């Protein structure tokens, strides 16, 4: 009978067992997997950076991408062990990335990731030489950050408020988010990572958790306290109650919640900023980080101490903060004319 197999008919062979995962051997269209001799070290290094060094997820992902790309590139040239990587190979790889159109910042980041990996292998695996030691870092253009003037900031912060109408829960939330980004100079990830435990009862400051989970306390001005307090006492409470009434359980402790009572995610935070910009006629390229840049620039323009601004921004190095001193040349020239004996 059709479809029935007799005893003498051989059965199809069972499928082969799945290949163990190594970096990038599962990506569609990938030319070659990373050789095992390179892949294992990459995974060990990334685990150490995550657990011991406390690098943030985005940095780990960027390093993973750079090192797996290098691993594939080396594998295509027959290199299967880090001890066989020399200075010439690395210079050739950096050149190939430029030829492929990678930005110089990406090339520089890839070299940093490789330097860190090599040093990790020297300490942990007995690698004898550092082929990156004599390779200079790419020279990067120092791009000045984009900032808004105080008038444009004022328009942006009021984007979701309608005259003579009380704001709904969403407008309260989004206005509070904008105020926190500007008043505290917070990164979008730091603002969205706030929990109710990070707020004192009077909302006079915020406890922000920055890169590497470094914590800093930043003061809040009166308007930001008002906007945040209104959201916490009205809009946020309504979201929490609605979730409980729907039988969905307890809402998250995050300060900024979605309609469902879950933490507002990064992409949603970005969209709220861009929507605010569009509502008041500001460029659609405006990002949450532009508010952070504006925070720093306006503080320094007003005479704030550079070290104090560094602390509030959470910069590890004062050199990172110094870039904002180049943004207000007219203010500096005015101060010089007013106070220097030969101004």
Residue bearing tokens 């030489």:
129
Q: Are 291 and 150 in contact (CB under 8 A)?
A: no
Task: Say how far apart CA 62 and CA 137 lie, in whole Å.
Answer: 18
> Long-range contacts made by residues 201-208, C-beta under 8 angstroms, separation at least 24?
203/228, 203/229, 203/232, 206/180, 208/184, 208/314
Strands 205-209 and 215-219: antiparallel
Q: Are 324 and 340 in contact (CB under 8 A)?
A: no
Task: Say how far apart CA 188 and CA 322 lie, in whole Å.
Answer: 22
Q: Is 50 a catalytic residue?
A: no
Q: Is 289 a catalytic residue?
A: yes
- Retrieve residue 104's tokens: 């110089």
Q: Is 134 a catalytic residue?
A: no
**218-241 per-residue burial string, b: 16 or more CB within 10 A, e: under 16:** bebeeebbebbbbbbebbbeebee
Q: Is 339 a catalytic residue?
A: no
Return the percent helix, strand and coil in the chain, to nearest 5. 55, 5, 40
Q: Is 315 a catalytic residue?
A: yes
Q: Which of 97, 243, 272, 292 is catalytic?
A: 292
Q: Which of 119, 207, 289, 331 is catalytic?
A: 289
Q: Which of 50, 262, 315, 331 is catalytic?
A: 315
Q: Which of 89, 115, 155, 211 is catalytic?
A: 211
Q: Which of 64, 72, 173, 187 is catalytic?
A: 187
- Retrieve residue 40's tokens: 């294992």
Report how far Cα 248 is from the mean position of its chain's Cα atoms: 30
Inter-CA distances, 235 with 176, 242, 271, Å: 10, 11, 19
Catalytic residues: 187, 211, 289, 292, 315, 324
């Amino acid at each position: 009978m059709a479809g029935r197999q007799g005893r003498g008919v051989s059965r199809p062979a069972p499928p082969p067992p799945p290949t163990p995962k190594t970096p990038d051997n599962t990506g569609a269209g990938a030319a070659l997997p990373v050789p095992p001799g390179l892949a294992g070290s990459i995974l060990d290094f990334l685990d150490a950076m995550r657990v011991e060094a406390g690098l943030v997820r985005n940095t780990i992902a960027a390093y993973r991408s750079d090192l797996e790309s290098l691993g594939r590139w080396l594998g295509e040239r027959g290199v299967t062990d880090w001890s066989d990587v020399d200075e010439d190979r690395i210079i050739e790889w950096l050149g190939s990335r430029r030829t492929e159109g990678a930005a110089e910042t990406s090339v520089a980041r890839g070299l940093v990731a490789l330097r860190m990996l090599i040093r990790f292998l020297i300490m942990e695996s007995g690698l004898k030489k550092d082929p990156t030691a004599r390779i200079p870092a790419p020279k990067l253009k120092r791009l000045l950050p984009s900032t808004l003037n105080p008038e444009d900031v004022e328009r942006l912060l009021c984007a979701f408020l309608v005259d003579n109408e009380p704001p709904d829960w969403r407008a309260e939330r989004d206005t509070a988010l904008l105020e926190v980004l500007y008043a505290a100079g917070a990164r979008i990830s730091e603002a969205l990572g706030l929990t109710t435990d990070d707020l004192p009862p009077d909302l006079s400051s915020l406890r922000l958790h920055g890169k590497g989970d470094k914590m800093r306390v930043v003061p809040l001005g009166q308007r930001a306290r008002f906007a945040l307090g209104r959201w916490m006492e009205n809009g946020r409470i309504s979201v929490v109650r609605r979730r409980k009434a729907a039988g969905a359980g307890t809402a998250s402790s995050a300060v900024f919640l979605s309609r469902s009572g879950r933490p507002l995610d990064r992409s949603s935070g970005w969209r709220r900023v861009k929507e605010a910009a569009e509502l008041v006629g500001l460029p659609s390229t405006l990002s949450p980080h532009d508010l952070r840049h504006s925070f720093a620039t306006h503080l320094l323009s007003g005479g704030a101490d550079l070290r104090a601004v560094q602390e509030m921004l959470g910069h590890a190095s004062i050199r990172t903060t110094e870039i904002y001193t180049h943004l207000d040349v007219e203010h500096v020239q005015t101060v010089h004319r007013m106070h220097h004996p030969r101004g």
